Chains A and B, each alone.
Chain A
Amino acid sequence: MPPLSRFLLPFSYAKERYAGHPLRLSIAALKTIFVFHVFWQYGYAIAPLEGPSMLPTFEVKGDSVIISRYYRRGRNVKVGDVVQFDSVVEPGEGVIKRVLGLQGDYVMRDTPGSTDSMIQVPDGHCWVIGDNLPWSRDSRHFGPMPMGLIKGKVIAKVLPWSERKWIENGLQPIEKQ
């Protein structure tokens, strides 16, 4: 068992290195910010949600989710995943919707019940729809969305803490009877 002072060594080292060296300290702080930025951009991010478009899944206000950036640009995204992407309509706004079709899939162009016309999703695009159909601006309005806009996939709900859960792909294949 090493003596307690051994555990304090990093602190005394940091004090010796940074105390009285403002330039050294500020450079180290800047580098730490960059580490967190890279983690936020290419690892995981926590984001608060707002709006009624995903209603049964996420509340209008007060929910926060974890977003995995591994799925950026639509890598390995499957039908049924909830993705976060940069808005097609509003500059600099992030949106969360559910993927309903990938490239080559045939999807219904309008809200079920209005028309029955189908559309094929072009290469590199996907078809995104909010869970709350009457209160959602999605691919029914702006058409197929380029996958390059996708910034990540929602993997978990963390806030409110009592309702924390993993967000899993709700679509399961039907077993034949």
Chain B
Amino acid sequence: MASTRIFSMFNRNMSVRESFHESKYYLFSLMTWIPAVIFFNGNVGEVTWINGPSMYPYLNTSYNEDLKKDVCWISKWNPTRNLERGMLVSFQSPTNPEKLAVKRVIALEGDTVYTRAPCPIPTVQVPVNHVWVEGDNRDRSQDSNSYGPLPKNLIQGKLTYVLWPWKSSGPINWAQFKGKTRVLRGRRQDAPNWD
């Protein structure tokens, strides 16, 4: 029992060896749950701290005032299914594969996007199985304008809840997002392909 384990240090009559053996057993049975936790974090959902200003002012609203980071819930079950314009997604950054990036989906396959500064061409049609992602902070974000359309298979989660700070916590209403980037909606069948 856990209580026996805790109080054994005060109990003069209980042998040390017995309680040590017992705590070893509890430690082992706790460790057998580690693979389950790894599975959960990789396939069901995970809590993540948001770094940097690229999604300001939607996330890290107090970026200019303090060093606090927003805490978000990433849902990882079937992340590439039912992607919509305006959703927040997390993925391994194409320019630095060890870094996790959070951006907003601006356009889906088949759409035509009017690009911004670092992009060398004025309009891009998003190819099959790709999305166009941008940060909300248009001046301080490295996004599809610098690395091009993002392969869908790189996306590993959708941001569904803000957990902290308390003021902005709650589900993320991605449908209410009104972007400044001009997008001409297209059909998936018309998207560029490589057959």
Give A residues with C-beta under 8 Å from B: 30-31, 34-35, 37-38, 41-42, 73-74, 86-92, 122-125, 137, 141-143, 145-150
Pick the most buried of B97, B128, B129: most chain A CB atoms within 10 A of its CB. Answer: B97
Once bound together, how far apart are the Cα atoms of A91 and B151, in whole Å? 9
Q: With an 8 A cutoff between CB atoms, is B33 at the interface? A: yes
Query: Does the CB pair B97–A88 fall under 8 Å?
Result: no
Query: Does the CB pair B94–A146 fall under 8 Å?
Result: yes
Q: With an 8 A cutoff between CB atoms, is B147 at the interface? A: yes
Looking at the complex, which of B36-44, B60-68, B158-166 is the stretch in contact with chain A?
Answer: B36-44
Chain B 116-152: CB-based contact to A (< 8 A → 1; otherwise 0): 0000000000011110000000000000000110011
Determine the chain A residues whose CB is within 8 A of the CB of B48 once the complex forms.
none
Query: Does the CB pair B194–A141 fall under 8 Å?
Result: yes
**Chain B residue nearest in CB terms to A125:** B94
Query: Does the CB pair A146–B92 fall under 8 Å?
Result: yes
Give B residues with C-beta under 8 Å from A: 32-33, 35-36, 38-39, 42, 80, 91-98, 127-130, 147-148, 151-154, 193-194
Determine the chain A residues whose CB is within 8 A of the CB of B33 once the complex forms.
31
Choose from B35, B42, B93 the contact partner of A148 (Cβ within 8 Å). Answer: B93
Choose from A34, A73, A145 the contact partner of B39 (Cβ within 8 Å). Answer: A34
Once bound together, how far apart are the Cα atoms of A34 and B43, in whole Å? 12
26 contacts across the A-B interface (CB closer than 8 A): A31-B32, A31-B33, A34-B35, A34-B38, A34-B39, A35-B35, A38-B38, A38-B39, A74-B97, A88-B151, A89-B194, A122-B147, A123-B95, A124-B93, A124-B95, A124-B96, A124-B97, A142-B194, A146-B92, A146-B151, A147-B97, A148-B91, A148-B92, A149-B92, A149-B151, A149-B154
Determine the chain A residues whose CB is within 8 A of the CB of B128 once the complex forms.
89
Determine the chain B residues whose CB is within 8 A of the CB of A125 once the complex forms.
94-95
Once bound together, how far apart are the Cα atoms of A91 and B33, in whole Å? 32
Determine the chain A residues whose CB is within 8 A of the CB of B35 once the complex forms.
31, 34-35, 37-38
Once bound together, how far apart are the Cα atoms of A18 and B35, in whole Å? 21
Once bound together, how far apart are the Cα atoms of A123 and B98, in whole Å? 12
Determine the chain B residues whose CB is within 8 A of the CB of A38 once the complex forms.
35, 38-39
Query: Does the CB pair B96–A123 fall under 8 Å?
Result: yes
Query: Does the CB pair A148–B154 fall under 8 Å?
Result: yes
Determine the chain A residues whose CB is within 8 A of the CB of B151 once the complex forms.
86, 88, 145-146, 149
Query: Does the CB pair B152–A91 fall under 8 Å?
Result: yes
Query: Does the CB pair B153–A87 fall under 8 Å?
Result: yes
Query: Does the CB pair B36–A149 fall under 8 Å?
Result: no
**Chain A residue nearest in CB terms to B36:** A34
Once bound together, how far apart are the Cα atoms of A20 and B38, in whole Å? 30
B143 to chain A, nearest CB (A): 14
B31 to chain A, nearest CB (A): 10
Query: Does the CB pair B97–A148 fall under 8 Å?
Result: yes
**Chain A residue nearest in CB terms to B35:** A34
Once bound together, how far apart are the Cα atoms of A143 and B130, in whole Å? 13
Query: Does the CB pair B154–A91 fall under 8 Å?
Result: no
Once bound together, how far apart are the Cα atoms of A148 and B91, in whole Å? 9
Pick the most buried of A41, A124, A143: most chain B CB atoms within 10 A of its CB. Answer: A124
Determine the chain A residues whose CB is within 8 A of the CB of B80 once the complex forms.
91-92
* Given A37-B39, A88-B129, A148-B92, residue A137 in contact with residue B153 (CB < 8 A): no
Query: Does the CB pair B96–A137 fall under 8 Å?
Result: no
Once bound together, how far apart are the Cα atoms of A146 and B38, in whole Å? 24
